[in-house]
C-alpha cells in the first residue's frame, strides 16, 4: 500500500512540474533570448554602417594652417577621426568649386601634417564648412560641443557618401 501511495505522489508531482512548460520545448526560452540578443546586435550594427565614423574628433590646426597657405584656398579647418581627415575648405577658384588639382594639394598637406592619416575627404559644401567652423570656434572658446558628434556623423554621410 505504501508503494502505491508513493507512486501516486511522485506521478502527481511529475505531472505538476510538466505543466509549467505550457507547451514549450525545454530550452526554448534560452534560445529565444539568444535570438533576441542577436537581432539587437544586428540592428545596432546596421544603425552605424560606416566604420570610419567616431565620436572622438580632433581639430588638426597644423594641417589647416598648411592648407590655408595653398593658392586658391581662403580658409580651412580639418577634423580628424581615427585615420580619416575631413577638410572643410573655402576656396576662391571656379566659382568656389573644388578642382581635382586643388583637392590633391590639400590631401598632400594633410598627410604631411599627419602621416597616420589614410583617407582625406575634402568639401567646399557651405553647410559642411559652416558646421565645422562653428565647432572649431566653440571648442576654441571653451564651449561644450554637445550634439556635434551626431551632427558631424550625419553630415559626413551626406557630404561624403562613399566614405566607408
Q: What is the pLDDT of residues 10-23, one digit of tens each?
A: 667 666 655 555 55
User: Candidates 3.40.50.450, 2.70.98.10, 3.30.70.1350, 1.10.287.10; correct CATH number of 58-159?
Assistant: 3.30.70.1350
Predicted TM-score of the model (pTM):
0.63
Give, in order, the Cα–Cα distances in Å from 109 to each of 60, 66, 90, 115, 132: 11, 6, 16, 10, 19
**Among 6-15, 26-35, 82-91, 108-117, whose mean pLDDT is lowest?**
26-35
What percent of the chain is modeled with pLDDT above 70? 63
34 or 99: which carries more pLDDT confidence?
99
- Say which residues have a Cβ less than 8 Å from residue 60's Cβ, sequence separation at least 6: 78, 79, 80, 85, 110, 113, 114
Q: What DSSP element (H or E) covers 8?
A: helix 2-19
The alpha carbon dihedral of 128, 97, 67, 115 has a sign of positive
Spell out the residues 6+ positions from residue 113 whose beta carbon is closer than 8 angstroms to its own: 60, 62, 63, 66
pLDDT at 18: 57
CA distance 114 to 68: 16
Residue with cell 594641417: 63
Residue count of the chain: 164
Domain boundaries, the chain: 2-47, 58-159
Helix locations, 51-99, DSSP H: 61-68
Q: Grid coordinates standing for 152?
A: 558631424
Q: How many CB atoms are located within 10 Å of the residue 158 CB?
A: 11
Summarised one tens digit per residue, pLDDT across range 150-162 is 888 888 888 888 7
Question: Hey, is 136 helix, strand or coil?
Answer: helix
In contact, 112 and 62? CB cutoff 8 Å? no
Amino acid at each position: 500500500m505504501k508503494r502505491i501511495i508513493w507512486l501516486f505522489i511522485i506521478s502527481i508531482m511529475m505531472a505538476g512540474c510538466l505543466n509549467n512548460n505550457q507547451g514549450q520545448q525545454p530550452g526554448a526560452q534560452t534560445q529565444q533570448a539568444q535570438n533576441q540578443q542577436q537581432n539587437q546586435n544586428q540592428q545596432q550594427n546596421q544603425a552605424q554602417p560606416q566604420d570610419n565614423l567616431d565620436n572622438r574628433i580632433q581639430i588638426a590646426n597644423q594641417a589647416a594652417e598648411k592648407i590655408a597657405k595653398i593658392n586658391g584656398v581662403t580658409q580651412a579647418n580639418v577634423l580628424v577621426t581615427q585615420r580619416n581627415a575631413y577638410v572643410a575648405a573655402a576656396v576662391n577658384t571656379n566659382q568656389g568649386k573644388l578642382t581635382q588639382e586643388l583637392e590633391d594639394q590639400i590631401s598632400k598637406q594633410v598627410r604631411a601634417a599627419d602621416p597616420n592619416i589614410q583617407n582625406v575627404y575634402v568639401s567646399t559644401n557651405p553647410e559642411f564648412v559652416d558646421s565645422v567652423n562653428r565647432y572649431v570656434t566653440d571648442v576654441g572658446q571653451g564651449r561644450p560641443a554637445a550634439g556635434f558628434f551626431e551632427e558631424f556623423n550625419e553630415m559626413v554621410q551626406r557630404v561624403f557618401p562613399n566614405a566607408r
